[in-house]
Amino acid sequence: MSFDSFSDFIAMGGHGFYVWLSYAIALVVVVINIVNPALQKKKIVSNLVRRLRRENKSL
Protein backbone atom coordinates (compact mmCIF):
# COMPACT_ATOMS: atom_id res chain seq x y z
CA MET A 1 0.00 0.00 0.00
CA SER A 2 1.60 3.27 -1.01
CA PHE A 3 -1.01 5.53 0.61
CA ASP A 4 -1.60 6.23 4.29
CA SER A 5 -5.22 7.27 4.11
CA PHE A 6 -8.16 7.34 1.75
CA SER A 7 -7.89 11.08 1.22
CA ASP A 8 -4.23 10.62 0.30
CA PHE A 9 -5.32 8.06 -2.23
CA ILE A 10 -7.82 10.47 -3.77
CA ALA A 11 -5.38 13.34 -3.82
CA MET A 12 -2.54 11.30 -5.41
CA GLY A 13 0.01 13.73 -4.05
CA GLY A 14 -1.56 16.68 -5.84
CA HIS A 15 -1.89 14.87 -9.16
CA GLY A 16 -5.28 13.37 -8.34
CA PHE A 17 -7.14 15.25 -11.05
CA TYR A 18 -4.84 14.01 -13.82
CA VAL A 19 -4.67 10.43 -12.63
CA TRP A 20 -8.41 10.08 -12.04
CA LEU A 21 -9.27 11.81 -15.30
CA SER A 22 -7.05 9.36 -17.20
CA TYR A 23 -8.57 6.34 -15.53
CA ALA A 24 -12.08 7.68 -16.07
CA ILE A 25 -11.47 8.20 -19.78
CA ALA A 26 -9.99 4.71 -20.00
CA LEU A 27 -13.07 3.27 -18.31
CA VAL A 28 -15.36 5.11 -20.71
CA VAL A 29 -13.40 3.91 -23.76
CA VAL A 30 -13.36 0.30 -22.59
CA VAL A 31 -17.07 0.32 -21.75
CA ILE A 32 -17.95 1.91 -25.11
CA ASN A 33 -15.99 -0.78 -26.92
CA ILE A 34 -17.98 -3.49 -25.16
CA VAL A 35 -21.42 -1.89 -25.00
CA ASN A 36 -21.45 -0.63 -28.57
CA PRO A 37 -21.06 -4.06 -30.23
CA ALA A 38 -23.53 -5.53 -27.72
CA LEU A 39 -26.18 -2.96 -28.67
CA GLN A 40 -25.33 -3.46 -32.31
CA LYS A 41 -25.92 -7.16 -31.99
CA LYS A 42 -29.32 -6.60 -30.37
CA LYS A 43 -30.30 -4.38 -33.29
CA ILE A 44 -29.03 -6.81 -35.91
CA VAL A 45 -30.86 -9.75 -34.36
CA SER A 46 -34.13 -7.85 -34.04
CA ASN A 47 -33.82 -6.78 -37.67
CA LEU A 48 -33.22 -10.38 -38.70
CA VAL A 49 -36.20 -11.59 -36.67
CA ARG A 50 -38.46 -9.00 -38.26
CA ARG A 51 -37.27 -9.97 -41.73
CA LEU A 52 -37.75 -13.65 -41.06
CA ARG A 53 -41.31 -13.05 -39.85
CA ARG A 54 -42.10 -11.03 -42.95
CA GLU A 55 -40.72 -13.76 -45.18
CA ASN A 56 -42.69 -16.46 -43.36
CA LYS A 57 -45.89 -14.47 -43.75
CA SER A 58 -45.45 -13.96 -47.44
CA LEU A 59 -44.91 -17.69 -48.00
List residues binding other proteins (CB under 8 A).
1-3, 9, 12-16, 18-19, 21-23, 25-26, 29-30, 32-34, 37-38, 40-41, 44-45, 48-49, 51-52
Give CA 11 to chain center in angstroms: 26
**What's the CA gap between 28 and 25, in Å, rounded?**
5
Question: Cα separation of 1 and 10, whole Å?
Answer: 14
- Residue 57 CB, shortest distance to other proteins, in Å, is 14
The Cα 25–Cα 39 span in angstroms is: 20
Q: Which is nearer to other proteins, 25 or 58 (CB)?
A: 25
In the complex with other proteins, the residue whose CB is nearer, 34 or 57, is 34
